Amino acid sequence: MFIIEKKDKKTKKRIGKIETKNGAIMTPVFMPIATKGAVKNLTPEELKKLGVDLILGNTYHLWLRPGLEVMKKSKGLHKFMNWGGPILTDSGGFQVFSLAKYRKITKDGVEFRDPDNGQKHFLTPEQSIQIQLDLGSDIIMVLDECLPFPCTHEQAEAAVGRTTKWAERCKTYFERKGISNFQFSISKRNPKSKIPETIKRPLLFGIIQGSVYKDLRERSARELLDIGFDGYAIGGVAVGEPRQYLWQVLDWVLPMLPEDKPRYLMGLGRPEEIIGAVSAGIDMFDCVIPTREARHGRIYKFKNQNSKIKMTMQNVKFYETIQIAKSNFAKDFWPLDKNCDCYACQNFSRAYLCHLFRAAEPLGQRLATIHNLNFYLELMRLLRQ
C-alpha cells in the first residue's frame, strides 16, 4: 500500500505515500509520540492544525491503562482519543529494552511486572497483535527483542533468533485474525496510484534487529524478507550506541530492503540525523525529542530563512536551540522564531514564554511543544520539497 511518487537523482531520498484505512501518509514523515493515547500537552485538533499525518501509540502502556475493556467499549483508540488520522502502534518490544528490571524473556514471550503496582503480565507475539487489532491501529508492529548497547555477539544472535520466530508467529496470527476480519474495497481506485483509495485492513511491519553486528543485521533482514511484511523497521539504533554505528547499520541493511515497501527508522532523531537518514532512503521517523525537550524549555529553530536551503547532515548549523527560561530572554519581546507561522510564534513573545517557564505555568510547555513539533514538521516538508 505504498507508492513512490518521486526519487532524488543525487541521493536515495524519495517522496512517497502510504495508504492506510484511516487516510494517506506522505513520506518522509515524522510521528509525534502519543505513548498513552495523547501527545503530551496537545489536543488532537492542535495536531491536525500543525499538519500531523501519523501518531505513535504504545501497545504495552495502553494494554495496562486504560486496558482493553475500555478500548473495546470506546471502539478503538481513534475514537477514544478523538483522532481521525492514522495511528502506528509499537508492539511492546521497546519495553523489553526499557523495562529490563521488570521483565523476563522466554521463547514464548515476555513476562512484565508493572512498575506501578507489581502486577505480573505475560505478553506473547499473538497477544501483541490482538491488542493492536483491538486498538484499531493502522500500522501494527511485530513483537521484537531490542537489546541495549553494548551487548555481545552471542546475546545479539539469540535476540535475532527470537525476533524472527516472534515475527513468524505475529504474521501467522495477523493473517488468521487480522486480515480475515477486514475486507478490501476495490470499488474506487486512484488512476495514478492504481491502489485502493479505501483500505480496510491494517498494515503489518517487521523489525530488523542485530545490534552493531553486520552479519546479524543482514541475517535479520533476510529472515524478515522471507516472511514478508507491508513495511520494514530498523530497531535498536537509539539505545546508547555511538552514532557512527547508525550509519553503518543503514549501509548494511537498506540495500537489502525492497524499494516498494516503507522503511521506518525507530526512535530517531536529531534534525541532522533525520536529514542523513532521509538521504539514505528512510521514509518514517519517531522521536521524543521535540516534545520532551519542549517540556524543559529547549526550543528548536532554524537560524534564518536561508539556513533552510542549506540543510545537510554535515551542516548542523542550519538550526539552533535556545533555553527559553534563561534570564537573557526575560525582556526579549521577539517571537520564539520570527520566521515560524505556528500559533506560539505568531501570538507570544520570548519574554512571555520565559515568564511562563519561570513561573511553572503549564501553558509554557504547551506553547513550546507546539513550536518544536512545528519545527520538526517543517523540516519534513522541506525535505519533501
User: CB neighbours of 347 closer than 8 A, spacing ≥ 6?
Assistant: none
Q: What is the DSSP letter of 33?
A: B
Q: What is the DSSP letter of 10?
A: S
Do residues 213 and 156 touch, judged by C-beta distance below 8 A?
yes
CA 278/CA 190 separation, integer angstroms:
27
| Residue 54 grid coordinates | 501519523
Backbone φ, ψ for residue 124 (5° rounding): -100, 165
CA 122/CA 105 separation, integer angstroms:
10
Residue 161 burial by Cβ neighbours in a 10 Å radius (0-12, 13-18, 19+) = middle
Do residues 64 and 73 touch, judged by C-beta distance below 8 A?
no
Edge-to-edge strand ranges of the sheet holding 29-31: 29-31, 284-286, 263-265, 231-234, 203-208, 139-141, 87-90, 55-58
Do residues 42 and 369 touch, judged by C-beta distance below 8 A?
yes
Q: In the chain, what is the greatest distance between 2 CA atoms, to the nearest angstrom?
A: 62
Could you list the active site residues? 90, 286
Q: What Rg value do the Cα atoms of the chain yield, rounded?
A: 21
Do residues 47 and 83 touch, judged by C-beta distance below 8 A?
yes
Bridge partner residues of 322 (DSSP): 299
| Residue 76 grid coordinates | 478503538
| Residue 107 grid coordinates | 521463547
| Residue 329 grid coordinates | 530572554
CA 134/CA 326 separation, integer angstroms:
46
Edge-to-edge strand ranges of the sheet holding 14-20: 2-7, 14-20, 23-27
Closest-CA residue to 196 (of 23, 324, 4, 370): 23
